[in-house]
Structure 1
């Protein structure tokens, strides 16, 4: 693709991109396919994906079926001593507790352990560029209560006002973490800390769960970096997927977004929605961490889009699109960000647990 802005976010821009690549009349069932990690523009456009990215404060829990769960999650975390100690650790010593290990690995994801040499020219260029992670405190969101504003985050920069410095110096000022597994461990440990002491029949796993999407002309595989999965032996149903990268998302935003879109499609194909499905908005969630920043992506699609993937569209039916609503980043080095994100992550797990306990619909 020519530039990051070329990832379509509305149907008209998708059509422009499809015409540019001469695939406006092609379907996913007619082209050669690559794995999710090596997806190219033709395949991406044939998946009919629209990406809509917004800052965390624009996340509307009601739109994605989380409004009631957010309140329940906040109430559950309020008396949780380990959670309070975790939030306090951003400005004081880290105490023992369930969130101690996630915090340890979150700190590790900020460390590059790479020795950098700045020549005279680069030293002058990077004089005003921060050499610490950008401040990312959340402004008041729709689900945030009025009672807490931690001292450690009082002077953080509101989201939407962060600055990484000049684009050409991103890799120098924010070098990628030395091993992707550090972010993977940090994220999955953090996710499990919310549910490990609760009577849940599901958990977050580091298992790189594969999903295979089969089409008429071929198939492709997508391997996640983890997932929220039911633990019963009869059906290891997936409730959310995980993807991590060792570098800032903005450095390879286009490539990362295309891979995550392919993973979402493969999940939809490999684990179909129940019979009677009409539309989905927020039931499929992707949690990603890129270096020290966390993002949430919610999938929205219709029955017709599923028919498109299954090659069962009627003659007069429109295929529609898979719309991915991406929010972030939440900074793992900012207590305010982590507090807001914690509520959402527990809400996602609570909703999944309710779904797990409900009887499967009759076919």
Structure 2
């Protein structure tokens, strides 16, 4: 499946991220036979943050960041709209599905809908490309990758300007593009010059936002007493982060599972690391989760008092809430009877017509009821 370029390797308990300071990335997604979903969507990201969006329903490229909205005028947005209206994958992997095997007709230029609908079913096609720039060393890099139905299809080797085909169905397209010197020259110029220039411009637009530092909030989570403990860091920016589990002060290299860094809805990120040891083990020894972000360490000692859980409410709390509710209802009933005893029959009748006891409001405070929502983008 398509992977994000800034995640290089997840080795045991540590995720190492590219040292590149800034990145410009575009993700193209094409779909077929999915009701109410645009057939073609483009998301542009700077340093992992969406800053522009286009889809084939609106036929508009729109800003996703305030700094982008105030930095470019109507001419820019109109040019982007024309570009993506014309794009729609006319030159990228025209897809046809014949006898349950993929065939790629690289000659036919038709709409994405025509090419995908012929496959008889729901399908997805993605193109992701990016360029990177280190504002300290000046080093640059680039990446381009194609996917079909969640699997890798083609990837560009920038050094040789040739494509790697991980599946047999991609070989005809690889051979065609590898022979096209005009296309290769155009793409090389874009990735080594034009993309970097655009990246520098966008970084200058959003400098105050893109170069901010937001420290993560770190929590230890556990579903039930026998479940693995999860170290969850969220709300941090920039994206680069290292999560480490330590036993008696020594980094662990086994019994740990690190998840991908995922975006939150507010421009920050989150990551989880799962400790796969039995509770009796971490209760006997000293375990801690250490989150390293922006050259600062945030250690959290693994102790029961530091763990948030989403177990059911303890019976004591449930019984207490029920008892409080019953007591409150009894009080309300007592008040009603007392008022009736203080009035005559006529007044009591009028009172019954005009007055209705309000339903008692009972609040039960949940004890450590923690639910976490992990978000996966495109």
TM-score range, shorter chain: under 0.3
| Larger strand proportion of the pair | 2
* More contact order relative to length (CA 8 Å, sep ≥ 6): 1
TM-score (norm 1): 0.23
Q: Which has the larger radius of gyration?
A: 2
TM-score (norm 2): 0.23
| Larger helix proportion of the pair | 1
